């Protein structure tokens, strides 16, 4: 894989989103329920992804999304929680998200990539929320502020090609010289491929590969070690 620039997604790509989720669950619910945490988290992500666009277009508020995704995930396991309980969870979950750290593998990967390519970030979400997470990750050590694009600052978001074009402009690189790394097939892989970028699907949750011929990733990896080996093999 040849490239001049590598651009990363944030949530569940640069850091493991399940860690703050599990931390919040254990503090609030561990003594009350015995739920399978990995599947519960995947259900939470699935419900969140399904209604995220609605939260960005005004069809539902962010607070309504926070309530919906957790209540639906718990309901899948026969547990009914209140709106207030869902918001209490979100408050703690967000606090723990602001304590996230990069893994040692990811730090070493960014160190090495910094010496050989331009680096960038494209992430969907509220600007302040996403930037607070990036500060927790100390991402400014590797990625300059002008190479960080948060959809909340713009009228477009992944998988819209416009957000990829904006990054091309900021990096001064053509699409064929860029690779995008992300965990979400529809947002990250499809968005990058439609923009003419190379794509790496960081499928560490082992999600089922979509049954389609178009928009498939150039490469699929399942671990941070495999991701590092791929990007540093150039």
**Tokens encoding 6:** 């590598």
Q: Whole-model pTM?
A: 0.93
Write down the pLDDT at residue 213.
59
Cα distance between residue 196 and residue 152, in whole Å: 23
**Residue pair 205/12 in contact by the 8 Å Cβ criterion:** yes
| pLDDT at res. 209 | 83
For residue 216, pLDDT beyond 90: no
Q: Is the pLDDT of residue 69 over 80?
A: yes
Fold annotation for 18-97? DNA polymerase; domain 1 (1.10.150)
Quick one: pLDDT band at residue 87, thresholds 50, 70, 90?
very high
Q: Give pLDDT tens digits for 16-45.
A: 999 999 999 999 999 999 999 999 999 999
Interval 170-185 mean pLDDT: 97
Whole-number CA gyration radius for the chain: 18
The domain spans of the chain are 5-15+103-231, 18-97
* Residues 106, 142 contacting (CB under 8 angstroms): no
Taking only the tens place, the pLDDT of each residue in 102-141 is 999 999 999 999 999 999 999 999 999 999 999 999 999 9
Q: Which residues of 18-46 are buried (b: 16+ CB within 10 A; e: fewer)?
A: bebbbbbbeebbeeeeebeeeebbbbbbe
Mean pLDDT, rounded, for 142-153: 97
CATH superfamily of 5-15+103-231: HAD superfamily/HAD-like (3.40.50.1000)
121 strand-pairing partners: 8, 148
Q: Residue 211's pLDDT is what?
A: 75
Same fold, 5-15+103-231 and 18-97: no
Q: Is the peptide bond before 159 cis (omega within 30 degrees of 0)?
A: yes
What are the tokens at 52?
């995220």
Whether residue 174 has pLDDT greater than 70:
yes
């Amino acid at each position: 894989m040849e490239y001049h620039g590598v651009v990363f997604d944030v949530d569940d790509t640069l850091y493991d989103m399940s860690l703050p989720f599990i931390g919040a669950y254990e503090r609030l619910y561990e003594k009350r329920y015995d739920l399978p945490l990995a599947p519960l988290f995947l259900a939470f992500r699935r419900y969140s992804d399904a209604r995220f666009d609605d939260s960005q277009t005004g069809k539902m508020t962010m607070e309504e999304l926070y309530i919906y995704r957790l209540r639906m995930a718990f309901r899948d396991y026969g547990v009914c929680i209140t709106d207030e309980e869902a918001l209490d969870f979100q408050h703690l979950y967000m606090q723990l998200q602001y304590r996230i750290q990069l893994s040692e593998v990811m730090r070493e990967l960014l160190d090495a990539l910094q010496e050989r390519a331009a680096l960038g970030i494209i992430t969907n979400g509220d600007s302040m929320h996403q930037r607070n997470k990036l500060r927790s990750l100390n991402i400014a050590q590797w990625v300059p502020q002008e190479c960080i694009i948060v959809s909340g600052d713009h009228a477009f978001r992944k998988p819209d090609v416009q957000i990829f074009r904006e990054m091309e402009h900021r990096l001064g690189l053509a699409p064929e010289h860029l690779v995008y790394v992300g965990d979400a097939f529809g947002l990250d892989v499809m968005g990058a491929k439609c923009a003419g970028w190379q794509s790496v699907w960081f499928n560490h949750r082992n999600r089922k590969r979509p049954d389609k011929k178009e928009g498939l990733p150039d490469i699929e990896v399942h671990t941070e070690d495999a991701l590092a080996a791929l990007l540093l093999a150039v």
